[in-house]
Amino acid sequence: MSHESPDPRPEPVAPAALVRTDGSVTDRTWDGHLVPEGYSDMIDGVRELLDRIAAAVPGADLVASTTKAVAELNDRFAEHAVAEPDQLSGRLITVPGRAQLAVPAVHIDEIGEDGMSGHVWFGRHFLGSNGVVHGGAIPMLFDDLLGRFAIVGGGARSRTAFLHVDYRSVAPIETTLRVTAHVERVEGRKHFLRGELLDGDRLCAEASALFLTLKDGQQ
């Protein structure tokens, strides 16, 4: 028996190109690597696939054909493997979630040197249970967003020293949630940051974090 279910995925607001926050378009990563045309659309498609797989009970035919197709794709991607400094995933700061599939896709609405606000929509891939976002996905969201502000200006590398998350109320999946991040203060190498995740006016989670700029030669 199949159940009709509404498809709540939001319509894409714009072609998923590499759009900078000032509206201009680039075909390069932050450090100059050329990004193949359609790369961010491919990432969007894989994100959707993860949601579709999480939400489905496929028949044996679909399981078999998917297993075969994925094996073929794995072989093809393996042929194009590169070392970390040349990879694209995680390095596309103009793409929601930096094109890193483990990171929820945050769409930035406003951004400045000291903070940002944006929105995020967690699909079934990020379900914990009972329609609520997995508790581990929320620190991932904050680590990624706050980390961005620890490297603003000069592009210095930094690392999370602590990330404290308070879960104030449930964050529903398949709902457009608002997210904010801002720099609280900077003391030498120490960057103290805060973030919030909201469903309308209701606070779902808040984070405070310390990021440390790495010293010269520090791994």
Ligand X SMILES: CCCCC/C=C\C/C=C\C/C=C\C/C=C\CCCC(=O)SCCNC(=O)CCNC(=O)[C@H](O)C(C)(C)COP(=O)(O)OP(=O)(O)OC[C@H]1O[C@@H](n2cnc3c(N)ncnc32)[C@H](O)[C@@H]1OP(=O)(O)O
Q: Which residues of this chain interact with ligand X, rule CB under 6 A?
A: 30, 90-91, 93, 143-144, 147-148, 151, 159-162, 190, 210, 212, 215, 218
**How far is residue 105's CA from residue 137's CA, in Å, rounded to a whole number?**
11
**Nearest-5° Cα angle at 163, 199 to 85:** 100
CB nearer ligand X, residue 127 or residue 165: 165
CB of 159 to ligand X, least distance (A): 4
Contact 30, 18 (CB under 8 A): no
SS3 209: strand
Nearer to ligand X, 132 or 192 (CB): 192
State how far the Cα of 102 lies from the Cα of 4, in Å rounded to an integer.
29
How is 133-156 classified by DSSP, letter by letter? Answer: E-TTHHHHHHHHHHHHHHSTTTT-
Q: How far is the CB of 81 from ligand X (least distance, A)?
A: 17
Work out how close the CB of 125 gets to ligand X at its nearest, in angstroms, rounded to a whole number.
20
Cβ pair 56, 125 in contact under 8 A: no
Nearest CB to ligand X, comparing residues 143 and 174: 143
> What gap in Å lies between CA 183 and CA 173, rounded to an integer?
27
Q: Which of 100/204 has CB closer to ligand X? A: 100
The residue number with the shortest CB distance to ligand X is 147
Closer to ligand X by Cβ: residue 99 or 198: 99
In the complex, minimum distance from the CB of residue 162 to ligand X, in angstroms, rounded to a whole number: 4
Closest distance to ligand X from the beta carbon of 177 (Å) = 19
User: Closer CB to ligand X, residue 75 or residue 84?
Assistant: 84
Least separation, in Å, of the C-beta of 158 and ligand X?
A: 7
Host H or E run for residue 160: strand 158-167
Alpha-carbon span 205 to 165, nearest angstrom: 7
